[in-house]
A and B are shown apart, each in its own frame.
Chain A
Amino acid sequence: MKPFLLLLVVLMSCGAAGTAVHAQQPPLQPQEEFVPIDQLPPQDQLPAAPLLVAAYCFIVLALFGYLLSLARRLTTVQRELERLEGDVKRSGGA
């Protein structure tokens, strides 16, 4: 009698679990038609590639621009420093 009771409990548990899982999942519906992308709402049809390319281009251009600006400023200051040091040496020697 005991194995039969155990089997009944197991089967009932599986059935209850299966019912619960089935109840939580939305019913699957077969796709009845294909929708062209241009009929989607604007948010859904927005292509990602231009945004991605714009982001990476901006990163590269901004970093390159800053590097150029920094190098130019460093060169200017270096030249001014060399000129001043030359002036100081000349005035010291005179």
Chain B
Amino acid sequence: MPNWFLPAAAICGLMFATAPILIANAPYESTMGLVQKIFYVHLPAAWMFLLGGVLCGVASARYLFKGDPRQDRFAWACAELVVLFGALTLVTGPLWARKAWGVWWQWDVRLTSSLMGWMVAVAYLLLRKYGGPGSDKLAAGLALFGLANVPFIYISVNYWRTIHPLTTVVPTLPTSFGVPLWFSVATFVLLFVLLLRMRVRLEEQRARVDALYLSMDA
């Protein structure tokens, strides 16, 4: 692991310990009350889900057009994080919605497109695991669909009728809501980077193992 990894992991742990204090001290939202505090983990998880989708798609495109195996390993690592953070988003969202909207799930465009994006990432991982030879290129093609879905997920609430909050909510947040949110976002970004580095490292080691097996067979 690189030299920055352990200090960054320590900082991330400290931030994860501090975030609940900031979130607990944030004021209650006027209409949703206590349950709105799910927002402070739901939104950063959703952003990491989208970030992972973009990184996975871009790395897959570079792998398809340039054939660089490092890009393929990076895309694979990103896809796993998309599944992780997508699961966090898709579980915390309904828990919030149950109280705020009165239902667990609504087949509106934001929720449905997010679920589709998550399923594309799951399909990517399944393809990589069980697809056999050549599945890397197929999975890379699939990741491009995941990439195309990301802006659709983001802007969907502004163009279709939905009960999901609009993208304008975040820029207009008062400081009392904004400070815990941005702290939580910074924590999730750092966690994302650390997990990504670990996951890429795993793929690098696997590539070395494969290379050693091939050299032993030769």
Contact = CB atoms under 8 A, between A and B. Distances in A.
Real complex partners, A and B?
Answer: yes
Determine the interface band of chain B, counting residues with CB < 8 A from chain A.
20 to 34
A71 B209 CA distance: 17
Interface residues of A, number: 28
Determine chain A's interface SS by DSSP, over half rule.
helix
B12 to A, nearest CB: 11
Contacts, number: 78
A77 B88 contact: no
Interface string B135-156: 0000000000000000000000
Contact of B212 (A66, A74, A88): A88
Contacts of B102: 43
Given A80-B209, A81-B209, A85-B212, A70 B202 contact: yes
B37 A52 contact: yes
Contact of A70 (B95, B199, B212): B199
Nearest to B206: A77
A28 to B, nearest CB: 19
Contacts of A81: 205, 208-209, 212
7 A-B pairs with the lowest CB-CB distances in the bound complex, closest first = A48-B35, A48-B34, A43-B102, A84-B212, A77-B205, A55-B92, A55-B95
